[in-house]
Every structure is written in C-alpha cells, then in structure tokens.
C-alpha cells in the first residue's frame, strides 16, 4: 500500500484503489493538539449530511470505485475513503485541521508536478544528445531542439538565437551557407538525381541510409539519408521538416566542388 499524505508525522495509508485511511487522519488530528478524540471515523460516517455526500459520490460522480471501504483485521485494517471525504472529515474535525490537510495535498501536488517536469526535461535532453551523436545533427538542429525543451519547461529564454554550422575542418569556425543536394546539382547543371548521387556517396562513406519505424510505410519501416562523421566535412544534417525523427542532409556550397571531384573517383 502506498504512503502519500504525511500529517503531524503520521503517514496516511492508502488502499489498492487509492483511498485514504481515516483512522490515520484521526490519529494525526489528535497529535496536532485538537480535541478530536471523540471524532472517530465511525461517528463521522453516521452523520446524516455525510451519508448524503457518500450517496452523491456513489450515484453521480461515476468514480468507478466505492467512496468508502473498510478493511477488517490485519496490518492495513481501517476505514478508507476518497479524497472528497478526506476534506469533509478534516472539516468535521475543525477548520484548522481542514486547512492543514488541504495545504498538505496542495504541496504534494506541486512537488509531484515539479518532479514530473524535471523527469520529462531530463528525458528530452538524453534523447536529444543521443540523437545528436547517432545522426550527426548540426549545431543549429541541436539548438532548435534545446529551444523547444526550454519552451516546454517554461523557463526564461537563455539559449542563443543561432548556432554556427561550419565544416568539421573549418579553422575559423564560421558558418557556411548550405543547400539541399537537388538544388546544388541543378545549379551545377548535373543531370544525375539526388538519389543517384546519394548511392555514390554511400560508397565514399560520406552518407548512409538509416531506418525508423513507420506505420504508414511498406513493411513498417521508413528509410532516410544521413551524413556520416566523414560527411560532415561537406555538409550538415538538419532535422527533416516532414518528421522530427529523420535527418535531411544539406551540403556546404563552398565544399560542393570538392565533393564533385570525389564523385569522379567512384566507378
């Protein structure tokens, strides 16, 4: 059984359906110094108004479970109720105890949300770093991913507005303009298609074909091109605008002539 709510050092037990133990709340109320010894859970549940509340919860709230359950005997014996009845019981004891219970619940909810957000952001960072290494993503693509994580986390804009995309052997580290292979082939009046050139670049170890799962593709697999570490001398991998799980190679204009000379060596 889970222990979630802790009041006055008393851990309020929960049953397998998530209901809270009123006996533990009663003990917490006594420890807090309130005159609550005569306010046992059994007396609370025999109150006419509480009986009507239980009936309302049973009939109209569609909770899927009974609002009240009793375990007799054993380590977990006690009366267990849904959250709405926890609030009602706390108010029945005293307004001060009710506020303490509400604030404890609010604190737990807030902390839980913070932990979930931290876990989600950390998972996003891990996935992004792994994808960056696996797919040789460009700096600008990695920056775009981190900017999205930043927006998701709702933190101030601390990331730079742009990143340098330079050939891996660039001495000055300055960005170079890039274009898709099909555009560069057309500009240089080369009649080969991009796929024909890609197949030649595979033989040179500059590019490789990768796969991802896809329900809409034949065989459940979608293939896409990705520059290798060697290929980063001549271009960069950007995230495909069609699918964030794919890369789309772009080539540095300043390096394309050298790339064409390499292609001439392929037979």
**β partners of residue 69:** 80
What local confidence, expressed as pLDDT, does residue 2 receive? 46
DSSP summary character for residue 213: E
pLDDT higher than 70, residue 43 = yes
94-103, 136-145, 225-234: which has the minimum mean pLDDT? 136-145
Would you say 226 and 249 are in contact if contact means Cβ atoms under 8 Å apart?
A: yes
What local confidence, expressed as pLDDT, does residue 1 receive? 42
Radius of gyration of the chain (CA): 32
What local confidence, expressed as pLDDT, does residue 4 receive? 59
Q: How far is CA 255 from the centre of its chain?
A: 39
Which among 59-63, 71-75, 88-92 has the top mean pLDDT? 88-92
Q: How far is CA 223 from the centre of its chain?
A: 26
Would you say 14 and 6 are in contact if contact means Cβ atoms under 8 Å apart?
A: no
Which two structure tokens, joined as six digits, stand for 99? 């506020």
Q: Where are the domains of the chain?
A: 3-108, 167-263
**pTM score, whole prediction:** 0.47
d(CA 69, CA 15): 9
Kindly report each contact of residues 16-19 with a partner whose C-beta sits within 8 Å and lies 24 or more positions away, as own/partner: 17/65, 17/69, 17/80, 19/65, 19/67, 19/68, 19/69, 19/80, 19/81, 19/82
Instruction: Note the pLDDT tens digit of each residue in 150-204.
Output: 777 666 677 776 677 777 777 776 778 889 999 999 999 999 999 999 999 999 9
């Amino acid at each position: 059984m889970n222990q979630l709510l802790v009041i006055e050092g008393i851990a309020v037990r929960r049953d397998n359906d998530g209901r809270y133990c009123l006996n533990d709340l009663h003990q917490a109320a006594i420890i807090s110094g309130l005159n609550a010894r005569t306010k046992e859970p059994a007396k609370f549940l025999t109150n006419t108004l509480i009986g009507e509340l239980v009936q309302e919860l049973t009939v109209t709230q569609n909770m899927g479970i009974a609002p009240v359950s009793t375990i007799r005997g054993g380590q977990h014996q006690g009366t267990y109720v849904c959250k709405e009845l926890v609030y009602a019981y706390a108010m029945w004891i005293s307004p001060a105890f009710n506020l303490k219970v509400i604030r404890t619940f609010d604190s737990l909810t807030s902390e839980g949300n913070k932990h979930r957000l931290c876990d989600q952001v950390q998972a996003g960072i891990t996935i992004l770093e792994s994808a960056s290494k696996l797919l040789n993503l460009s700096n600008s693509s990695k920056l775009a991913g981190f900017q999205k994580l930043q927006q998701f986390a709702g933190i101030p804009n601390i990331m730079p507005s742009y990143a340098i995309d330079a050939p891996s052997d660039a001495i000055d580290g300055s960005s170079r303009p890039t274009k898709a292979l099909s555009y560069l082939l057309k500009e240089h009046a080369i009649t080969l298609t991009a796929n024909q050139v890609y197949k030649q670049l595979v033989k040179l170890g500059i590019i490789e074909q990768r796969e991802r799962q896809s329900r809409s593709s034949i065989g459940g697999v979608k293939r896409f091109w990705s520059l290798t570490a060697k290929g980063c001398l001549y271009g960069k991998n950007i995230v495909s605008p069609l699918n964030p799980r794919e890369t789309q190679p772009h080539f540095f204009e300043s390096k394309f002539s050298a790339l064409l000379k390499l292609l001439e060596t392929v037979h």
